[in-house]
Amino acid sequence: MPDADNNRPHPWRKPLLILEFSALAVLLGSMAWFSSQTADGGTISAGWLLVPALASLGVFVSFIGLMYLRWVAAANATNRTRHRIIFSLLALTLLGVWVYGIANTWLSLNAG
C-alpha cells in the first residue's frame, strides 16, 4: 500500500482548521456584539477593535497555513520551488490586504 502514506493528512492540518474556525467564530461573535452595543447609539472603545482584528488575523494566518499545506507541502520536488514563489507572493498579498484594512480602520477612527 504505497498510497497509504499519501492519504494521511499533515499533522498541522487539524490545528490550523481548529484555529481558523475558532477565530471565525470569535470574529462573527464580536461583530454581533458590536452591533448590539451600538444599536442604541453608543460608542465602542477603540481597544475593543483589537478582538476582531486579531480574530481576522487568525483566520488569515490559518488560511495561509492550510494553503501552504495544500500547494507547497503536497507538491512534488520538481515543482516545489515554483509553488513556493507563487505561494509567497499570494501570502504577502493577503497579509498586505489585511494590514491595509486594519490601518484604514484605525486611521478612520482617529480622524473622526
83-94: pLDDT as tens digits: 999 999 999 999
Residues 69 and 16: beta-carbon distance below 8 Å:
yes
- DSSP 8-state secondary structure symbol assigned to residue 81: H
Chain segment 19-64, per-residue pLDDT in tens: 999 999 999 999 999 999 888 887 888 888 899 999 999 999 999 9
The pLDDT assigned to 8 comes to 83
Measured distance CA(55)–CA(48) in Å, rounded: 12
Going 36 to 38 to 42 to 43, the CA torsion angle's sign is positive
pTM: 0.84
Are 17 and 56 spatial neighbours (Cβ–Cβ below 8 Å)? no
